[in-house]
Amino acid sequence: MKGRRNQLSLFRLTAHELHDLLVKKEISAQELSESIFSRIGSVEDRIAAYITLTKERAFECARAVDRQIQNGGETSPLSGIPIALKDNICTGGVRTTAASKMLADFIPPYSATVVKKLDATGAVVTGKTNMDEFAMGSSTENSAFFPTKNPWNLERAPGGSSGGSAAAVASGEAVCALGSDTGGSIRQPASFCGVVGMKPTYGAVSRYGVIAYASSFDQVGPITKDVTDCALMLNAICGHDPLDSMSLKSDVPDYTSHLVNGVRGLKIGVPEEYMSTEMDSGVRAAVEKAMAMFGSLGATVDYATLPHSSYALPVYYIIAPAEASSNMARFDGVRYGAGAGDAEDVIDLFIKTRSRGFGPEVKRRIMLGTYALSAGYYDAYYLKAQKVRTLIKEDFDRAFLKFDLLLSPTTPCTAFRFGEKTDDPYQMYLTDVYTAPANLAGIPAITIPCGFAEGMPVGLQLMGRHQGEATLLRAAYTFEQNTDYHKCFPEIG
């Protein structure tokens, strides 16, 4: 095939570029998978994006796609495309660890709904990516196994908790990936790694088969090289699922139809509370440049107000740990989790299993959540936080009466060095200061590359109305078509 001479560079291409080559028979799905696994073999020892690789399954799926194409069968835009899955997404017959010792040998008997949806498209799953344990963290340093490195600088963190997925896409170890976003866990690592990441509207994507952290926040979403691939992934994974009680009952549009290069007439608000907080000067400069670009392209850019946004982070870190405390109760060594073989009785079993199975950050959040839910403190903390959450959502509702979307930095800083924030949890939590509010409100948000600061990528966040993904994709696509940041590729040393 014509593509053989280009096999080594296929990992640099987007899903839609690769799809065109596949349907024209210029490359095969087998060659594409070989290119990705060759790339994994070249850089994985330095990046450490994966916990588990599924090479044999991937090649089997790729060969099936090739047979389908050769026989003239219909293919989807994701047929034969190598996609990585965050390791809190259950895969039937394939180890799913949530990056925890507690589930080090857990093999689910079923696959998550999003995995079944991807399987139906003919996508090729490359493996399960590293993450912060049970998705609790912002740097992937909380993995029970090893930290993942940022492809732009191996001395820096890739972000978290979906750090493995973001690093895999940025480094060419996967074409696309799925992550989960509870307080920014897709957008923050995507920003740090210079790729596109989207948290869809809460309920737009099924959570069935996704190991729960905080159930009223968790949402699965795509991490991709560009906005077009993001739309293709959304087409594949969105839709009602009766197995998820919070799944939205609404039709899924063709998101690619909203990839229009034009924002004239759009009203874009910039939350003044976000821009008045401390952020790196390089991040501020890149975001202000993006604001000016949208204005030059015909959008109206003005300041918005979200008066309760300063409470978002403390509210998130009361409610999310409270929900985590409840969700983690199932990991007791009886129902789930590797039980302690030397336990003397049931109580001793619980204590030893959870003491040995959970890492420090998971224990910290369980204790925070249990305290917030305890008698005498429930009203003072959890109940009050839920009331403020409502106020935060109402702030967004009012802002969207005036604006079509909101614009902000994704993170206040670029990727930090390993160990820089691990001794101060509050400083680590602050990296989610701009992302957590969208989870509290249940609205969609996307991050796209918008520049560099001291050699590291800067992310631009766009937030939209409930089920307003189409407008976000239009704006993000327009920005992308008028810049080259998404075309930048890290040279891994």
For residue 388, give both structure tokens.
């403020």
Provide mean pLDDT across the span 225-242: 98
Pairwise CA distance, residues 20 & 165, whole Å: 24
Pairwise CA distance, residues 439 & 122, whole Å: 31
Total residue length of the chain: 493
| The CATH classification of domain 2-258, taken from the options 3.90.1300.10, 3.40.50.300, 3.30.1450.10, 1.10.287.130 | 3.90.1300.10
Contact 442, 401 (CB under 8 A): no
Using the predicted structure, report yes or no on whether residue 245 has a pLDDT greater than 50. yes
User: DSSP of 223-271, one letter per residue?
Assistant: EESSHHHHHHHHHHHBS--TTSTT---SPPP-GGGG--S--TT-EEEEE
For residue 175, give both structure tokens.
């074409």
**Which pLDDT score is estimated for 8?**
58
- Name residue 412's amino acid: P
**Which pLDDT score is estimated for 339?**
82
Pairwise CA distance, residues 212 & 92, whole Å: 17
User: For tokens 């492809």, what's the residue?
Assistant: 151
Using the predicted structure, report yes or no on whether residue 15 has a pLDDT greater than 80. yes
Using the predicted structure, report yes or no on whether residue 234 has a pLDDT greater than 60. yes
H/E run at residue 177: strand 176-181
- Work out the mean pLDDT of the chain and round it to a whole number: 96
Greatest Cα pair distance in the chain: 70
3-state SS class at 384: helix
Using the predicted structure, report yes or no on whether residue 452 has a pLDDT greater than 70. yes
pLDDT in tens, 114-123: 999 999 999 9
Cα 393 to chain centroid distance, Å, stands at 22
pLDDT in tens, 332-371: 988 888 788 888 888 999 999 999 999 999 999 999 999 9
Contact 177, 223 (CB under 8 A): yes
For residue 329, give both structure tokens.
């109760």
- Name residue 61's amino acid: C
- Name residue 122's amino acid: G
Pairwise CA distance, residues 341 & 97, whole Å: 20
pLDDT in tens, 295-317: 999 999 999 999 999 999 999 99
**Which pLDDT score is estimated for 6?**
54
* Helix-helix angle 29-47:163-171, to 10 degrees: 120
218 phi and psi angles, rounded to 5 deg: -55, 135
Using the predicted structure, report yes or no on whether residue 429 has a pLDDT greater than 90. yes
Provide mean pLDDT across the span 442-462: 98
Provide mean pLDDT across the span 100-108: 97
pLDDT band at residue 213, thresholds of 50, 70 and 90?
very high
Using the predicted structure, report yes or no on whether residue 2 has a pLDDT greater than 90. no
Using the predicted structure, report yes or no on whether residue 326 has a pLDDT greater than 70. yes
pLDDT in tens, 477-488: 999 999 999 999
Catalytic residues: 86, 161, 185
As beta bridge partners, residue 448 has 460
**Which pLDDT score is estimated for 7?**
60
Contact 222, 204 (CB under 8 A): no
3-state SS class at 435: coil
For residue 168, give both structure tokens.
């895999």
Using the predicted structure, report yes or no on whether residue 5 has a pLDDT greater than 60. no
**Which pLDDT score is estimated for 164?**
98
pLDDT band at residue 1, thresholds of 50, 70 and 90?
very low
Pairwise CA distance, residues 99 & 129, whole Å: 9
pLDDT band at residue 4, thresholds of 50, 70 and 90?
very low
SS3 content of the chain, % helix, strand, coil (to 5): 45, 15, 40
C-alpha separations of 138 from 104, 120, 336, 455 in Å: 21, 32, 25, 20
